[in-house]
Chains A and B, each alone.
Chain A
Amino acid sequence: GAVVSQHPSRVICKSGTSVKIECRSLDFQATTMFWYRQFPKQSLMLMATSNEGSKATYEQGVEKDKFLINHASLTLSTLTVTSAHPEDSSFYICSARELGRAGDRETQYFGPGTRLLVL
């Protein structure tokens, strides 16, 4: 159980276009989803936390208008990179925390990641 999927797994786009990444919890309901960015051989940088039905909470330094996050249901969150530029190229990972699982509220389950390359 507790599987999280991401789509697409890899995307290449031209500078100036927008890219949408989907994160789904497949077999559980996620009260909270997180979006991370990871550079090569570096730790995870938390970008934002989203709760279903409410606005995402962005970390300091993350542009809200650049990285649009929507958490429309308990199983789906999307990250849209608007007007992408080469410096946005990175590995984006989502994670989800399960609603109501006794003794396991704290565990985050991660998606497989999306590799974004902006040309």
Chain B
Amino acid sequence: AQSVAQPEDQVNVAEGNPLTVKCTYSVSGNPYLFWYVQYPNRGLQFLLKYITGDNLVKGSYGFEAEFNKSQTSFHLKKPSALVSDSALYFCAAYTNAGKSTFGDGTTLTVKP
């Protein structure tokens, strides 16, 4: 079975500090990996994706993610966090069944 894990329910960082939101995956074949962000009472917004090519993927709002095949990870990162980055973040993998499998989400809180 294919799965996506986000081991941390909550991540707290101070504004200006770097942030990392972790994601590991278990999928068959070549993975297509995504990060989405959800603000309160809103749908999910696409941040970035890895399909192929460079392991470091850059996305919206200064976020980036690094694909690590050996560790089966796709951690989301940002060099300097903003208070406005506080939201719920979802990692997802696109499967060959045509569906996306989502992690359980990580709540990021950036404190001023």
Question: Which A positions have Cβ atoms within 8 angstroms of B?
Answer: 4, 6, 32, 34, 41-44, 46, 49, 91, 93, 95, 103, 106-113, 115
- Enumerate the 5 nearest inter-chain pairs by beta-carbon distance, A residue then B residue, closest first: A110-B43, A110-B44, A106-B94, A43-B104, A112-B43
Interface residues of B in 7-36 (CB under 8 A from A): 32, 34, 36
Contact indicator B43/A49 (Cβ below 8 Å) = no
Assuming the A-B contacts A4-B43, A110-B43, are A49 and B102 also in contact, with contact meaning beta carbons closer than 8 angstroms in the complex? no
State the CA gap A22–B36 with chains docked (Å).
Answer: 22
Q: How many residues of B contact A (CB 8 A)?
A: 23
Contact indicator A93/B32 (Cβ below 8 Å) = no
In the complex, what's the smallest C-beta–C-beta distance from A10 to chain B, in angstroms? 9
Contact indicator A32/B44 (Cβ below 8 Å) = no
Contact indicator A93/B43 (Cβ below 8 Å) = yes
In the complex, what's the smallest C-beta–C-beta distance from A109 to chain B, in angstroms? 7
Contact indicator B105/A113 (Cβ below 8 Å) = no
Main secondary structure of the interface of B (DSSP, over half): strand
Return the contact of A112 from the options B32, B42, B88, B99 (Cβ within 8 A). Answer: B42
Question: Which B positions have Cβ atoms within 8 angstroms of A?
Answer: 32, 34, 36, 41-46, 49, 51, 88, 90, 92, 94, 98-100, 102-105, 107
A/B interface sample: 29 pairs, CB < 8 A: A4-B43, A6-B43, A34-B100, A41-B88, A41-B105, A42-B104, A43-B102, A43-B103, A44-B44, A44-B90, A46-B99, A49-B98, A49-B99, A103-B51, A106-B34, A106-B49, A106-B94, A107-B34, A107-B49, A108-B44, A108-B46, A108-B100, A110-B36, A110-B44, A110-B45, A112-B42, A113-B41, A113-B42, A115-B41
